[in-house]
Amino acid sequence: MSRLHKQLGVGKGVALLATSLMGTGIFVVPAIAASIAGAWSLLAWGVLIALVMPVAFTFALLGKRFPHAGGSAHIVGRALGPRFEKLTAFLFLAVLPVGLPAALVMATGFWHSVMDLTHFAELSIQLATLALILMLGLGGTKLSGSIQGGIALLIVALVAVLWWQGDIQLADISLSRAEEGNASSIVPALSVMFWCFVGIEAFTHMGEEFENPERDFPIALILGVLLAGLVYWGCSVAILKFGVYGSEQENTTAIPRLLALMFGPTGQWLAAIIGYLACFASMNVYIQGFSRLLWSMAEEGSLKRIGLGFLGKLNDRKVPARALWVVSGVCVLSILTLELTGLPLESMIRFANGNFIVVYLLSMLAGVLILKGWQKWLAILSSLLCAAVLIALGADSLYVVALTLLFFIVGLVMRANRKPPQSIEL
């Protein structure tokens, strides 16, 4: 029996996942990819979609079998035991200090394109965004799904307008211009572009809230991934045609500047509003996913030892409100900390990607142990693909490596301290 309200069907599920995948990346990452790989980035999107689909299918099979608010951590725990379940949860939650601030920087960048902002104004927008997400989260998953369905339609319509007004031709989607670049640039581009397909693991935390999870969850997941992939590719074509990419400032304001070229100030404001809403939608899914993971762990007794058992309570709407407040508070602290350190946006994306890739890898390894027949072979392929992407990160994977080592070292110390003292024989 589900512990949470079953409020999601295929439509709302597709909207939640698609906006999660498109939100923080659709207006920024295609421009970053173009600045790294040029026209080769068009081929890179095809490669990335091909890499992600086996992973998405494996997640769909696992989520269909184990719909649970614990998401990936629960799935990994079923196959690899409680220690790796806790590691998966820890790595997912450890995205908070870098991933959410990166998303908030992207969201703020849209307002930069239409107005001059002081550091105080930027910080105020970020804190106000978190407050809005908190209020929406307290309203329940059905409300989030309805709002994000509208945002998804706005994003698709915006990309369609870019193609129509930009007069995209067959020559614009060919690789003839890629001769000027180097095909080897696809690999570093992929390490950034992978950000666009993180969100599947957050989506698994909502499997318990589908009305018919065995039927609807896998359909929503696959359709959401395909929709997001097509929109990313379409956005990339327009950015490459008009050359609106280059520096970090140019990349974060690429779509607003492109619409300003096409429609003047009105288009620039339209892009800023839709871009902000897209980032808002993606962050909303993640924060809801984080809160559900914390609530599930507390409800099952995993957090009592560290004094967080109180998070295992739901409010009258069956929403994990206490966990949601805690996650929002951690986000505020992370924003303030990174405001002082000044970590570049691209570095935050790469660091967060390392955590997501390892979570994906652990989930795929769980699939190897749980699934049977052709599904097992699909999980093996997915595991190899995730391992290849992790290797491609290179030095940027040090963040997740350091966190993993810290997790096991702390675990060893805690187990050593729990050992009873040996009796002395006289």
Q: Are 207 and 72 in contact (CB under 8 A)?
A: no
CA distance 340 to 109: 18
> pLDDT value at position 48?
85
pLDDT of residue 376: 92
Greater confidence (242 vs 213) lies with 242
Phi-psi category of 264—alpha, beta or left, where left has phi over 0 and alpha has psi -120 to 50? left
Is 160 among the domain residues? yes
**In the structure, what pLDDT confidence band is assigned to residue 1 with cuts at 50, 70 and 90?**
very low
pLDDT class of 197 with cuts at 50, 70, 90: confident
Give the range of the structural domain holding residue 220, as residue numbers without chain letter. Answer: 10-408
Number of domains in the chain: 1
User: Where is pLDDT greater, at 144 or 5?
Assistant: 144
Which amino acid, one-letter code, is at 168? I
Question: Is residue 414 included in any domain, yes or no?
Answer: no
CB 195 within 8 A of CB 349: yes
Q: Quick one: pLDDT at residue 426?
A: 39
C-alpha–C-alpha distance, residues 409 and 417, integer Å: 12
pLDDT for residue 343: 64
Helix, strand or coil, per DSSP, at residue 94? coil
Note the pLDDT of residue 175.
59
- Residue 304 domain-assigned (yes or no): yes
SS3 per-residue string spanning 259-328:
HHHHHCHHHHHHHHHHHHHHHHHHHHHHHHHHHHHHHHHHHCCCCHHHCCHHHCCCCCCCCCHHHHHHHH
| Model confidence at 350: pLDDT above 80 | no
Residue 425 lies in a domain: no
210 phi and psi, to 5 degrees? -80, 140
- Taking the CA atoms of the chain, what radius of gyration do you get in angstroms? 21
Does the residue 417 lie in any domain? no
C-beta separation of 358 from 400 below 8 A: yes
Is 418 within a domain? no
CA distance 138 to 318: 9
Which pLDDT tens digit goes with each residue over 17-31?
777 777 667 777 888
Tokens standing for 232?
């990313």
Q: Give pLDDT tens digits for 24-51.
A: 677 778 888 888 888 888 888 888 888 8
Q: What is the pLDDT at residue 380? A: 93
Q: What is the pLDDT of residue 235?
A: 86
Q: Which of these, 319, 354, 315, lies nearest to 97 by C-alpha position? A: 354
Instruction: Give the range among 64-73, 90-99, 148-157, 323-332 with minimum mean pLDDT.
Output: 64-73
Instruction: Count other C-beta atoms under 10 Å from residue 397's C-beta.
Output: 22
Average pLDDT, the chain: 79
CATH number at residue 360: 1.20.1740.10
Q: How many Å apart are CA 48 and CA 309, to the nearest integer?
A: 40
Give the pLDDT confidence score for residue 16 in this predicted structure: 74
Q: Which of 98-107, 171-180, 296-305, 379-388 has the weakest average pLDDT?
A: 171-180
In a domain, 227, yes or no: yes
Given a cut of 70, whether residue 298 has pLDDT beyond it is yes
Residues 29/360, Cβ–Cβ less than 8 Å? no
- Judge contact between 148 and 284, C-beta under 8 A: yes
Q: List the structure tokens of 402.
A: 């350091």
Q: Is the pLDDT of residue 170 over 90?
A: no
Let me know if residue 248 belongs to a domain: yes
> What is the per-residue pLDDT across 363-408, written as a single tens digit (0 to 9) for each?
899 989 998 888 899 999 989 988 887 887 777 778 888 888 988 8
pLDDT greater than 50 at residue 424: no
Measured from the Cβ of residue 251, the count of other Cβ atoms closer than 10 Å reads: 24
What is the pTM (predicted TM-score) of this model? 0.70
